[in-house]
Amino acid sequence: MNMKLTVTLTLLTPILFGVLIAAPINPKNVAIIYNTRVAASKDLAVYYATLRSIPKENLIGLNVEDKDQISRKDYNA
């Protein structure tokens, strides 16, 4: 490979990857997780999904304790 081509590729590669990384995320590729034990959590998830045009089927409800701490046993499980 000649030197000019090597330098050009070396300089352009980060720019090309930067453009790919900065590409917007398609709403259908976004998941929203909310706590089913907290009504406001689902309300907020639905509101955000509506604002961002995220499909309703991408909302994932998890039954999670509404506590700030968990036991070591639950953490290890």
Q: How far apart are CA 13 and CA 6, in angstroms?
A: 11
Residue-wise pLDDT for 8-43, tens only, equals 667 777 776 766 666 678 999 999 999 999 889 999
Residue 73 lies in a domain: no
Rounded to an integer, what distance in angstroms lies between the CA atom of residue 20 and that of residue 28? 18
- What pLDDT does residue 49 have? 96
75 found inside a domain: no
Query: CA dist 77 to 9, 35, 64, Å?
Result: 49, 19, 14
Which residues form the domain of 46? Answer: 3-65
Residue 61 placed within a domain: yes
Structural domain total, the chain: 1
Any domain includes 72: no
Q: Which ranges of 1-77 does DSSP label H, i.e. alpha helix?
A: 3-21, 39-51, 72-76
Give pLDDT, residue 7.
66
What is the model's pTM?
A: 0.59
Q: How far apart are CA 43 and CA 66, in angstroms?
A: 16
Tell me which DSSP letter residue 57 carries.
G
Tell me, what's the pLDDT at 67?
Answer: 76
